[in-house]
A and B are shown apart, each in its own frame.
Chain A
Amino acid sequence: MENQFFLGDQGPPLDFGQSLSSPLSTAWQSLSSPMEIQATELNSTDYGLQFESALSSMVSSPVASNSNLSNESFMIRELIGKLGSIGGNSGEISPQPLIANSTNTSCYSTPLNSPPKLSLPLNTLVKEKLPRLGKSMGMNSSVTDFSADPGFAERAAKFSCFGSKSFNGRTSQLGLNDTSSPSPSLSPYRSNPLSSNRKIPRVSSSPSLNAMVIEPLQDRSELSHSQEESSITNGDPSLKPSKGTNSRKRKTVPKAKTNEISTSPSTNAPKGTESNEKRCKSTESNGNQNDSIKTEDDAKGNTKPPEPPKDYIHVRARRGQATDSHSLAERVRREKISERMKLLQNIVPGCNKVTGKALMLDEIINYVQSLQRQVEFLSMKLASVNTRLDFNMDGLMPKE
């Protein structure tokens, strides 16, 4: 079974070099080779050990060998793309396995999340598992550079290698708090446990993750995720409870996104969501945009009616794309103008107290006119001085 994980397909080597940062890529590459080695040795219950050792060897020896993990490679690439920006979330990102629907992949999800950071939260989590993982500890001795925490790899392995085994079984083995649905597919993003030991802190703590990740990962089962998250988040202090624990699949996403959007700078978030919508055309993105539009509308008093909350993917055609593109373009235009007006506000004295385009334009016009009059006056003065200084010009020029 474990062998299937790692030896499933002799796929192309994981080419993470482009997408991953160097430490991650080396970790990944090194992971691939040891996985093969370890697969045979470890039993199913000790996925953690397996993974751990694999991780350790990977970290220590950056070998870009052919990985058996073609499936994993897909997941990994996905992860990489999405988690690239999540570096900051590493603390919360437990080594959740990337488990594809069909196969067991995602053993490598954890290393993507800035392993050194992972070690810290994992330390607390792992300590309880230490006695069980004594075997893996020995194997992890080589993991020096990967992280100071041997438990990290262990933990990562545990979570990553769930694969075919039922989630319930694994969680019980690992002593996780909640064992629920045995859905095998765990998206690594989801594994970033946000807050609670509850079932389902699906939404990752990173806003970027939410924005980027949630749409494609809709089909992943979040419940399983949450379980892992809950187990992992036990000792994780950095989890963000604000993200909320949503047991539902989709509702959490738009809500979380709206939360993010409302908090994040209004100009950036809507644009990001707008771009998302243009690209992904998923309901999630629509939901995001709508939510962002909603917040923006509230903020700007736009005429666009607030959209009802999107629940599921099939909310797609709700708002016509045409109107959206118009409103998008309009919003972009308005934001450009407001941005420039703000700059002018800083430059033109006395504009701070004034609000509204018309009054500000009045001020600006007055200011420009006064400056031009000043220039006129000074030029007259210079002209008069010039006539007097014609004969002195030669003395003045050389210094210039």
Chain B
Amino acid sequence: MASMVTNPVTNANSDRTKRKKKKSMIMEDNHQSHARWKSEAQQQIYSSKLLQALSQVSLNTPSSSAPRGGRAVREAADRALAVAAKGRTRWSRAILTSRLKLKFRKQKRQRGAAVAAVTRSSCSKKPRFSVSKLKSKSLPAVQRKVKVLGRLVPGCRKQPLPIILEEATDYIAALEMQVRAMTTLAELLSGSGAASSGSALPPQSPPP
């Protein structure tokens, strides 16, 4: 009897502690992720990866499927960032798989282009516009913004709000680190380029 009485209490207790632990873990994860992206080591790791990728981009002539110039660098930088994230987050996984998807999409497009060319001439574009307009106005403001944010963060187009927020937190931290690293790298490279020497790279220091 007493045990029965105590059980709910202890269970509630344990449940409460479990919930508290879960919450604290979530908080910790978020804190950790932000701290992780802020660390010097992470930045250096990323910079090294980026340099490798950049060398590959410059070496590879842009005659292949990869787009040319800045776009290639941007994509290389994003991929390096995703690798630095170790694939724990949705956006990093989405970035890494996006290349494959692009390839598939291109093939499909080539196949469907012929069909689409035929159909487009017959169909008018009106209904499409009206539908899109209706869609944009019917949703409440918050929902619309959530969708926009979902489109901005790679891989989060159809995710619910809490997931989008979580991914956005990590993505913003990672982007900040990326900006810092690339700024430093650009300065160093341009500096060394100006010096026009093969001097060794000094250890990276965070920009002020």
Cα A75 to Cα B147 in complex, Å, equals 56
Q: Known: A81-B9, A380-B70. Is A371-B55 also a contact (CB below 8 A)? A: no
Chain A, Cβ-Cβ closest to B151: A365
A335 CB to nearest chain B CB (Å): 9
Say yes or no: is B199 at the interface (Cβ < 8 Å to chain A).
Answer: yes
Binary flags per residue of A364-400, CB closer than 8 Å to B gives 1, else 0:
1101110110111011111101111110111111111
Say yes or no: is A144 at the interface (Cβ < 8 Å to chain B).
Answer: no
B194 CB to nearest chain A CB (Å): 9
Please name all residues of chain A whose beta carbon is closer than 8 Å to the beta carbon of B165 when the two chains form the complex. Answer: 337, 340-341, 343-344
Please name all residues of chain B whose beta carbon is closer than 8 Å to the beta carbon of A340 when the two chains form the complex. Answer: 30, 162, 165-166, 169
Q: In the bound complex, do residue B182 and residue A382 qualify as a contact, i.e. CB atoms below 8 Å apart? A: yes
Say yes or no: is A267 at the interface (Cβ < 8 Å to chain B).
Answer: yes
Please name all residues of chain B whose beta carbon is closer than 8 Å to the beta carbon of A347 when the two chains form the complex. Answer: 34, 169, 172-173
Q: In the bound complex, do residue A74 and residue B3 qualify as a contact, i.e. CB atoms below 8 Å apart? A: yes
Binary flags per residue of A60-82, CB closer than 8 Å to B gives 1, else 0:
00000000000000110110111
Q: Known: A340-B162, A365-B152. Is A393-B55 also a contact (CB below 8 A)? A: yes
B83 CB to nearest chain A CB (Å): 14
Please name all residues of chain A whose beta carbon is closer than 8 Å to the beta carbon of B8 when the two chains form the complex. Answer: 215-216, 279-280
Cα A393 to Cα B197 in complex, Å, equals 10
Q: Which of B30, B52, B161 contacts A343 (CB 8 A)?
A: B30
Cα A393 to Cα B161 in complex, Å, equals 44
Please name all residues of chain B whose beta carbon is closer than 8 Å to the beta carbon of A81 when the two chains form the complex. Answer: 6-7, 9-10, 13
Instruction: List which B129-180 residues lie within 8 A (CB) of chain A.
Output: 141-142, 145-146, 148-149, 152-153, 161-162, 165-166, 168-169, 171-173, 175-176, 178-179
Q: Which of A213, A280, A383, A396 contacts B69 (CB 8 A)?
A: A383
Binary flags per residue of B2-32, CB closer than 8 Å to A gives 1, else 0:
1101111111110110011001001100110
B207 CB to nearest chain A CB (Å): 11
Q: In the bound complex, do residue A272 and residue B175 qualify as a contact, i.e. CB atoms below 8 Å apart? A: no
Please name all residues of chain A whose beta carbon is closer than 8 Å to the beta carbon of B52 when the two chains form the complex. Answer: 397, 400
B137 CB to nearest chain A CB (Å): 16
Instruction: List which A264-296 residues lie within 8 A (CB) of chain B.
Output: 267-268, 271-272, 275-276, 278-280
Q: In the bound complex, do residue B152 and residue A361 qualify as a contact, i.e. CB atoms below 8 Å apart? A: no
Q: In the bound complex, do residue B162 and residue A390 qualify as a contact, i.e. CB atoms below 8 Å apart? A: no
Q: In the bound complex, do residue B51 and residue A216 qualify as a contact, i.e. CB atoms below 8 Å apart? A: no
Q: In the bound complex, do residue B2 and residue A78 qualify as a contact, i.e. CB atoms below 8 Å apart? A: yes
Q: In the bound complex, do residue A82 and residue B9 qualify as a contact, i.e. CB atoms below 8 Å apart? A: yes
A17 CB to nearest chain B CB (Å): 15
Sort chain B's interface into a size bin: 35 or more
Say yes or no: is A212 at the interface (Cβ < 8 Å to chain B).
Answer: yes
Cα A346 to Cα B126 in complex, Å, equals 44
Cα A372 to Cα B149 in complex, Å, equals 13
Sort chain A's interface into a size bin: 35 or more
Cα A380 to Cα B76 in complex, Å, equals 12
A372 CB to nearest chain B CB (Å): 7
Cα A79 to Cα B55 in complex, Å, equals 68
B189 CB to nearest chain A CB (Å): 4
Q: In the bound complex, do residue B23 and residue A375 qualify as a contact, i.e. CB atoms below 8 Å apart? A: no
Q: In the bound complex, do residue B162 and residue A396 qualify as a contact, i.e. CB atoms below 8 Å apart? A: no
Please name all residues of chain B whose beta carbon is closer than 8 Å to the beta carbon of A393 when the two chains form the complex. Answer: 55, 58-59
Q: In the bound complex, do residue B199 and residue A78 qualify as a contact, i.e. CB atoms below 8 Å apart? A: no
Cα A397 to Cα B58 in complex, Å, equals 13
Cα A279 to Cα B12 in complex, Å, equals 6
Binary flags per residue of B71-89, CB closer than 8 Å to A gives 1, else 0:
0111011100000000000
Q: Which of B5, B153, B171, B200 contacts A399 (CB 8 A)?
A: B200
Instruction: List which A71-127 residues lie within 8 A (CB) of chain B.
Output: 74-75, 77-78, 80-82, 84-85, 100
10 contacts between A and B (CB under 8 A): A74-B1, A78-B2, A80-B6, A344-B165, A358-B141, A361-B146, A387-B58, A389-B58, A389-B189, A400-B48
4 A-B pairs with least C-beta separation: A395-B198, A74-B2, A216-B5, A340-B165
Contacts A389-B192, A399-B200 known; list 20 others, CB within 8 Å.
A216-B9, A275-B19, A280-B12, A337-B161, A340-B169, A347-B173, A357-B142, A358-B145, A361-B146, A365-B148, A372-B152, A375-B78, A376-B70, A382-B182, A383-B69, A386-B58, A387-B58, A393-B55, A399-B201, A400-B47
Which A residues are within 8 Å of any B CB, using their own CB?
A: 19, 74-75, 77-78, 80-82, 84-85, 100, 208, 211-213, 215-217, 267-268, 271-272, 275-276, 278-280, 333, 336-337, 339-341, 343-344, 347-348, 357-358, 361-362, 364-365, 367-369, 371-372, 374-376, 378-383, 385-390, 392-400
